[in-house]
A and B are shown apart, each in its own frame.
Chain A
Amino acid sequence: MSTTQIQQQELKKVVDTIPNRIKTFKIIVVGDSNVGKTSLTYRFCESKFIQTSEATIGVDFRERTLHIDDEDIKLQLWDTAGQERFRKSMVQHFYRNVHAVVIVYDVTNRASFDSLVYWLDECDRNCFTNVPRILVGNKCDEKLEINTNMAQRFADQHNMPLFETSARLDSECDNVEAIFLTLAHKLKNQKQLIPVDVVGQTQRLIRANPVNDNSSWNCCLRS
């Protein structure tokens, strides 16, 4: 008797949150101008590097369906404009019903790292739930301006996993894949709209290795 009740409840939850049968998650990608938000999402969704990347105006949208644990889930990536003026009055459109936030900085550009505080603040102000956030340092094929330790410390302080990658290099393709797969796993296993409390957990830097991913998102979920 009690089991059927629970099932019904779960069913209701599923119907409530997923109208298109296939689980869809909205992920927004934020960060300073020219850090490579478009390149990253393009790399993940099209498995290619954009040669002639342009400034994003407003918000661009890409999606990809993944098959995880015998289930299809769809990641919708909303690639937002980096220029600050777009955010002042458009930002609520971007963050509406968002499931996760990817914050990107450019490892060759200190200013983009310094702005992370600003992006976190924007995220706090616009996400009601404590949505999962991940930090991505892009362009690691070039000369590092921000060393990994510093970035890791920042990520730990704010309870985010850190990834360093390059959207340009084909060899890093797996890494980009791993970033979004990690996120997909986390989103899939997380109960809808219940904030994941990761206080007190130190999350480790994950380098292009999907095998190790499990441990990382499990540790976030276990808390």
Chain B
Amino acid sequence: MESNSEIINADDETSSTLNDDSSKLYTNSAEFISSEENEDTRSELKFDPVLESEEEKSKRLEIEEALKDGDSALETWRRLALGKYGLVNDDLRRQVWPLLLNVDPDPSEKAPLLAELSQHSEYSQVVLDVNRSLKRFPPGIPYKQRVALQDQLTVLILRVIMKYPHLRYYQGYHDVAITFLLVVGETVAFRIMERLSTDHLRECMEPTMEKTSYTLTYIYPILQREDKDLYEFMDSATVGTMFALPWYLTWFGHSLNQYRDVVRLYDYFLASPPLMPLYVAASLVIDRRQDVFDVGCDMASIHCLLSQIPDNLDFESILQRASNLYKKYPPSKLEKDVKNRVQKELEQRRKDEQRIRRRLDKNRAAWVKMRHYLPNWLLLHYRNKYGLLFATATLLVGLYAYLRATETGFSLFKQGPWNI
């Protein structure tokens, strides 16, 4: 805590004392006020309290037993996090999440000062996104508390990317960070984010999204093997993978409307290999296959349908299917297909470009049309050295022909020696 109080000099009192409260705050879900006064038609994140079922209760007792035991192995935590209902509640999550990643909640590392943070090139982007993350906070949270948590979120994000300068912040990273901040508090959240950023999310944090775009393609080979009709339908509509981008980048945190679904999925992903979100994405699409067929074979309609995840999905069965898919078609078996698919898309795009160009050319002068069929070096660009070379050569050939013609006397009708 000492290190934290140095982070925000101005309002460090609220900031540091809040930390302890914040993790407990969200377990008391009964205190939350529903957000009915908000008129926004987009569904707000719902923090509705849910009564514990018999099954959940026995799962909770099992986890509590394992925690008491003291030397449960990583395998135990993984099994519990993956299995039905995951880690059940936030109180247990706060204890088990660090164990799943085996992070050391050592609070001694000094966080950079706010003055330092604000010098960072990503600072303003992070602040913009954090300020717009209101949806992720429980409704009814006191204004002061929310602002303090948002400050902590900014610090948390910048701390990671300052410690690892090769990592780049992306919009959506804040959705991941806030989930951990709300559940485990500032200190442990930093450790977890540090670990995930150099592992599961590393690819997303590269300077370009090229690899992320590539990795998203995994969804299609999974669909192709598991649900051929659906695959062909989506493939012929050229839906692409953009609908799943926020799912992958935020572990669904950005796209889900219910807080309990978000944390349930985080249980699952923390205990899974890095590519698991794509298997869950495929599983989710399969779960909604009928909706996809109903909406029609149109890119925009399917994109729109899929990017809005309904509230009433049975995530336990979706996760169960995702686990099965991973077992049946591990990434190593799909790699070749992914590569081919990316290659094919690239070629298709090139063809489309040419087709559009040709269509445009119909209305253009002949010489403009010719341009696209001539190699570049043939065109007489002023700045192109080959063009210059070509022009010089033309001139020389012309000169030679002229000299030949004058030598023998210029007449087209005169019989030359070659024409006997």
Interface residue ranges, A against B (CB under 8 Å): 20, 24, 26, 33-34, 46, 48, 50-61, 63, 76, 81-83, 85-86, 88-90, 92-93, 96, 128-129, 193-195
- CB B316 to nearest CB in A, in angstroms, measures 26
Question: Closest Cβ of chain A: how far from B289's Cβ, in Å?
Answer: 20
From the candidates A48, A76, A86, name the one contacting B300 in the complex (CB within 8 A): A76
Segment with Cβ contacts to A, from B19-27, B36-44, B77-85, B222-230: B36-44
Contacting pair B360 A129 (CB below 8 A): yes
Name B242's contact: one of A20, A50, A58 (CB within 8 Å). A58
In the complex, the 3 A-B pairs of residues with the closest C-beta atoms, listed nearest first: A58-B245, A57-B246, A89-B210
Given A85-B170, A86-B171, A193-B356: A54 and B213 interface contact (C-beta under 8 Å): no
With A50-B40, A55-B128, A90-B209 in contact, do A61 and B133 touch (Cβ < 8 Å)? no
B132 near A55 with CB under 8 A, answer: yes
Number of A-B contacts (CB under 8 A): 103
Which size class do B's interface residues fall under?
35 or more
Pairwise interchain contact B208-A85, C-beta atoms closer than 8 A: yes
Contact yes or no, B38 A194, CB < 8 A: no
Interface assignment of B307: CB less than 8 Å from any CB of chain A: yes
A54, B213: Cα distance in complex, Å: 22
- Give the distance to chain A from B374, nearest Cβ to Cβ, in Å: 18
Query: Does B414 sit at the interface, judged by CB under 8 A?
Result: no
Q: Which residues from chain B sit less than 8 Å from chain A, CB to CB?
A: 38-42, 44, 125, 128-129, 132-135, 168, 170-172, 174-175, 207-210, 212-213, 240, 242, 245-246, 249-250, 254, 298, 300, 303-304, 307, 349, 352-353, 356-357, 359-360, 363
- Secondary structure dominating the interface of A: loop
Q: Are A193 and B209 in contact (CB under 8 A)?
A: no
Closest to B130 in A: A55
Q: Are A193 and B300 in contact (CB under 8 A)?
A: no
Whether the pair B250, A61 counts as a contact (CB closer than 8 A) is no
**Nearest neighbor of A34 in chain B, beta-carbon distance:** B128
Tell me if B356 and A129 are in contact (CB < 8 A): yes
Could you say which residues of chain A place their CB within 8 Å of the CB of B210?
Answer: 88-89
A57 CA to B207 CA, complexed, in Å: 16
- Docked Cα-Cα span, A82 to B128, in Å, equals 11
* Distance to closest chain B CB from A61 (angstroms): 5
